C-alpha cells in the first residue's frame, strides 16, 4: 500500500480561500444528505492541500478552515453529546502507521501493550442512547459536540435492537450504512418513485437516515464500534465498563444483541506488535472486494483503557487511535459516451466511455454498463457526473449518476434498434440483448477464440485465413475447420502446399486436445478457462456434460442457480457444433495429466492430490520446469493437482509461487504469513506427488 496520495496544491491566498469554501460546502452536503460535489478522495486531497498551505502561511489561516475540526466544521447539531464524538486522524501506509505508533509510545513513555484492529466502516457515525435497556434516542455525530436527533429512524435499522439483553443505561456508538442488497432495494424504490437512483450506499444511507416524509421506507444497517456509560453514571456497572479493554467492551456489545463486525470476514482483533497490526490491515484490505458493506480503511487503536486515558485527545481526534486509509474504490467522473458492441456469442453490451480518472491504482477510461435495462433503471444520461466503482481485480462499473450535479445539458443515451455489428434484428426478450443471429453474427470472433492458444491452439490459422474461409463459404463455425480438405485449403489465395500441410497437421493435433480445452473453445456463456477445467474434471466426458441438468451443473464450484440454466441452454444451442466435433473425431474426454505430460487416472480422488483445497497464486517470471509454460498452463497444472488458481493474494491464499520480480504480491504474502515457494520448489512438489 502506498503512502498518502498527492494533495491539491494551492498557489496563493485567493485560491486557498476558494478551496476552504469548497471544502466547507462539500462537507456540509456530505454530512447533511450524502450529496457532494467532490468524492472522498478529492475531498481528502483538497483538505491536505489546505493544511499544507496553512503550515506555510500560518498568518493567513481563515477561521472557517476545515482543518482540525470534526466534520470539517461544516455541521451544526442541536442535541449536545454526553461525551464529544470526534473524528480520527489518518495514515496512508505502513511507514506512516509505524511512525504514528512510535510517536504514541513516546507520548506514553512505554510500549503499547495491546492494539485493537477493526474495519473503518463507510457510513454515518451515530450515538444510540439506551435507558434501562430501551433505545430512546439516536443522534448523528454533527460537529462532535452536538448532533441531529434522528430518532424517527428507530425500528428501520437492522442490528440496532429496541431493547438490550440486559437493562443497562448506556450509549452505543457505531455506523449506520446500507449493505449491497439494501442499496439495490433502495435504488429500486427511488427509481419507482421519481425515476432517479442514489449515487452510492453512503449517500443513500445519509438521506434515508434523515428522511421523514418519503412515501417509501428504506432499510439501514448498524455496526457498533463502542460503548460508553453516561458521564453521571456512578454505578458499579459503569465503573467496570470504563476500565475494560476495547476488545472486551465489543464482546459485551455483541452479547447485548447489537450487531458488530465480529461475524464478518473483517472482525476486529487484538494485536500485540505493530507487525501484527500491519498483517491484519493487509488481511482486511484483501477482503474488502468481497464484503457486502463498504469500508474505506482500518481503525487502529490502543486496546487498554489505561493507554487511552494516558494518550488523551486533540481538538478533533483521540491521540490513541488512527484510521489507516485504503485507496479509493469509487470516484466521480464524467460519462462522455456509450459504445455498443456485439460479443462473440452475439450478446450486445454497452460500454461507458469516461473522462479518465485514477481509481484503485490505475487510470480508468472505460467501465461496464451491463445492458439497456440497467441504463434505464439507473437513469443515466450522456454528460452525467457518475460514480465509478472498482475494487481489487474487478472490472470498473458505473454505479449511478450524481443527480444533484446535473446542469440541464445532459442528453439521453441512444439505444440501438438493430445489432451494431451486422445490422440484423435484436432479440430483446431478456435483459441481456442478443443479435438474432447469435454466434453467427460474430462468427470470425467465435472462431478466432476457439483456435486461440489457450483453447484448441491451432497454429498457422491466421485471422485473415479465417476470414477467407468464411467469405468462401467453406466454414460457418469452428467445427467446420475439421472437415476441410486439402484441395479446399489449396484453393485459397496465398495458400501453397507447405502452408496447407502445416495447417492440416495443426488441425489434426487440435483434435487430441483434452476435453477442458474443447469445452472452453465452445465459448459457453458464463464459463472461461478455469471453469471449463472444473466442468471437464467433474464430468470427464462430453456425453456426461450434455446429459447434465441445471441441478447437476450446480455441483461445480462457482456455478450457482442463476448461471447453471444458462449453461444448459447454451449447450443445447451448441448441439449442432458439438455433434460435428464428435463426427470429426475430436477428443471428448478429460485425462489427468502431470507436469511431465504423463497420463494419470481421471478418477483419482481429489483429496489425495498435492494441492487439494488450496488457493494458489502465481506471480513473477517462472523458471526451471515451469519456464516454458504459459501462465494459463501453470494454472491448469494447479487445478489438475487439486488446487484453485487465483490472481490476487488474500487471507484465503494457501500458497504463493513467486518467480523473479514477484513484487507487491510477494510482499503481501509475507505480511499475511502465506507459504511461498520458488517455481522449482513448486514443480518438485507437484511432480513428486503426481
Catalytic positions, please? 120
Task: Write the CB contacts of 197 (distance below 8 Å, at least 6 apart in sequence).
Answer: 187, 190, 191, 377, 378, 379, 400, 401
User: Across 343-466, where does the E strand assignment appear?
Assistant: 348-359, 362-368, 385-389, 397-401, 426-427, 434-435
Nearest to 130 by CA among 169, 156, 166, 82: 169
Rounded CA-CA distance 391/296 in Å is 11
Which DSSP state fits 472? Answer: T
Buried b (16+ CB within 10 A) or exposed e, 101-119: beebbeebeeebebbbbbb
Nearest 5°: CA angle at 472, between 468 and 475?
85
Cα separation, 678 vs 656, in Å, equals 9
487 CB-near residues (< 8 Å, 6+ apart): none
Paired residues of 280 in beta bridges: none
Question: Which DSSP letter does residue 440 get?
Answer: G
With cell 517470471, the residue in question is 621
d(C-alpha 484, C-alpha 468), whole Å: 13
* CA separation, residue 589 to residues 402, 494, 528, 536, 577 (Å): 52, 36, 18, 8, 17
In angstroms, rounded to a whole number, what is the distance separating the alpha carbons of residues 339 and 152? 45
The CA radius of gyration of the chain, in Å to the nearest whole number, is: 30
The one-character DSSP state at 313 is B
Cα separations in angstroms, 60 against 45, 46, 50, 63, 233: 20, 17, 11, 10, 44
Could you tell me if residue 82 is left (phi over 0), alpha (psi between -120 and 50 degrees) or otherwise beta?
alpha
Question: Which DSSP string do the residues of 243-270 spell out, in sequence order?
Answer: HS-HHHHHHHHHHTT---GGGSTT--EE
Neighbouring-strand partners of residue 401: 386
> DSSP letter string over 91-137?
E-SHHHHHHHHHHHHHHHTS--S-EEEEEEESSEEEEEEEETTEEEE
Amino acid at each position: 500500500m502506498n503512502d498518502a496520495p498527492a494533495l491539491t496544491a494551492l498557489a496563493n491566498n485567493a485560491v486557498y480561500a476558494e478551496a476552504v469554501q469548497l471544502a466547507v460546502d462539500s462537507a456540509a452536503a456530505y454530512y447533511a444528505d450524502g450529496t457532494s460535489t467532490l468524492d472522498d478522495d478529492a475531498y481528502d486531497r483538497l483538505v491536505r492541500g489546505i493544511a499544507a498551505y496553512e503550515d506555510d502561511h500560518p498568518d493567513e489561516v481563515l477561521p472557517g478552515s476545515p482543518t482540525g475540526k470534526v466534520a470539517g466544521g461544516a455541521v451544526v447539531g442541536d442535541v449536545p453529546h454526553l461525551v464529544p464524538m470526534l473524528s480520527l486522524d489518518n495514515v496512508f501506509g505502513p511507514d506512516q502507521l509505524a511512525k504514528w505508533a512510535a510517536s504514541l509510545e513516546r507520548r506514553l513513555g512505554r510500549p503499547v501493550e495491546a492494539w485493537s484492529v477493526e474495519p473503518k466502516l463507510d457510513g454515518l457515525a451515530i450515538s444510540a442512547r439506551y435507558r434501562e435497556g430501551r433505545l430512546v434516542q439516536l443522534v448523528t455525530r454533527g460537529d462532535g459536540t452536538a448532533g441531529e436527533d434522528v430518532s424517527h429512524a428507530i425500528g428501520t435499522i437492522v442490528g440496532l435492537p429496541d431493547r438490550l439483553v440486559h437493562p443497562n443505561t448506556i450509549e452505543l456508538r457505531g455506523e449506520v450504512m446500507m449493505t449491497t442488497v439494501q442499496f439495490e432495494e433502495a435504488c429500486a424504490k427511488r427509481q419507482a418513485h421519481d425515476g432517479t437512483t442514489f449515487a452510492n450506499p453512503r449517500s443513500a444511507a445519509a438521506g434515508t437516515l434523515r428522511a421523514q416524509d418519503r412515501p417509501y421506507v428504506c432499510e439501514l444497517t448498524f455496526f457498533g464500534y463502542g460503548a460508553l456509560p453516561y458521564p453521571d453514571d456512578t454505578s458499579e456497572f459503569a465503573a467496570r465498563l470504563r476500565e475494560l479493554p476495547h476488545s472486551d467492551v465489543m464482546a459485551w456489545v455483541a452479547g447485548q444483541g447489537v450487531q458488530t463486525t465480529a461475524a464478518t470476514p473483517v472482525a476486529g482483533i487484538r494485536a500485540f506488535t505493530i507487525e501484527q497490526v500491519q498483517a491484519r490491515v493487509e488481511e482486511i484490505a484483501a477482503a474488502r472486494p468481497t464484503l457486502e458493506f463498504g469500508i474505506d480503511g482500518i481503525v487502529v487503536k490502543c486496546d487498554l483503557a489505561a493507554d487511552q486515558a494516558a494518550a488523551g485527545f486533540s481538538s478533533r481526534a483521540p491521540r490513541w487511535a488512527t484510521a489507516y486509509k485504503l485507496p479509493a474504490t469509487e470516484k466521480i467522473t464524467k460519462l462522455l459516451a456509450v459504445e455498443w458492441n456485439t460479443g462473440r456469442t452475439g450478446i450486445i453490451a454497452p460500454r461507458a466511455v469516461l473522462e479518465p480518472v485514477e481509481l484503485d491504482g490505475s487510470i480508468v477510461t472505460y467501465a461496464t454498463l451491463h445492458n439497456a435495462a440497467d441504463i434505464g433503471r439507473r437513469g443515466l444520461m450522456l454528460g452525467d457526473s457518475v460514480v465509478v466503482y472498482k475494487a481489487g481485480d474487478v472490472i470498473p462499473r458505473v454505479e449511478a449518476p450524481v443527480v444533484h450535479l446535473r446542469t440541464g445539458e445532459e442528453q439521453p443515451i441512444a439505444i440501438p434498434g438493430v445489432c451494431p455489428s451486422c445490422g440484423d434484428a435484436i432479440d430483446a426478450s431478456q435483459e441481456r440483448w442478443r443479435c438474432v443471429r447469435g454466434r453467427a453474427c460474430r462468427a470470425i470472433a467465435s472462431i478466432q477464440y476457439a483456435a486461440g492458444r489457450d483453447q484448441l491452439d491451432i497454429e498457422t490459422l491466421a485471422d485473415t485465413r479465417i476470414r477467407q474461409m468464411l467469405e468462401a463459404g467453406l466454414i460457418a463455425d469452428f467445427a467446420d475447420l475439421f472437415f476441410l480438405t486439402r484441395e479446399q485449403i489449396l484453393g485459397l489465395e496465398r495458400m501453397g502446399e507447405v502452408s496447407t500441410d502445416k495447417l492440416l497437421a495443426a488441425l489434426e493435433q487440435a483434435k487430441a486436445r483434452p476435453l477442458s480445452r474443447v469445452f472452453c473453445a465452445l465459448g459457453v456463456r458464463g464459463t472461461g478457462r478455469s471453469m471449463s477445467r472444473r466442468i471437464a474434471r467433474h464430468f470427464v466426458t462430453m456425453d456426461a456434460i450434455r446429459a447434465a441438468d441445471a441441478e447437476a451443473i450446480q455441483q461445480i464450484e462457482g456455478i450457482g442457480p442463476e448461471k447453471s440454466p444458462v449453461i444448459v441452454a447454451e449447450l443445447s444451442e451448441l448441439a449442432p457444433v458439438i455433434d460435428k466435433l464428435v463426427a470429426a473425431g475430436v477428443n471428448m474426454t478429460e485425462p489427468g495429466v502431470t507436469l511431465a505430460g504423463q497420463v494419470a487416472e481421471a478418477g483419482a480422488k481429489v483429496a489425495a492430490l498435492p494441492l487439494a483445497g488450496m488457493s494458489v497464486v502465481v506471480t513473477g517470471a517462472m523458471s526451471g520446469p515451469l519456464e516454458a509454460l504459459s501462465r494459463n498452463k501453470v494454472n491448469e497444472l494447479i487445478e489438475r493437482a487439486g488446487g484453485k488458481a487465483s490472481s490476487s493474494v488474500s487471507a484465503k491464499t494457501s500458497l504463493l509461487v513467486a518467480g523473479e520480480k514477484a513484487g507487491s504480491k510477494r510482499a503481501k504474502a509475507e505480511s499475511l504469513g502465506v507459504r511461498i515457494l520458488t517455481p522449482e520448489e513448486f514443480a518438485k512438489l507437484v511432480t513428486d506427488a503426481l
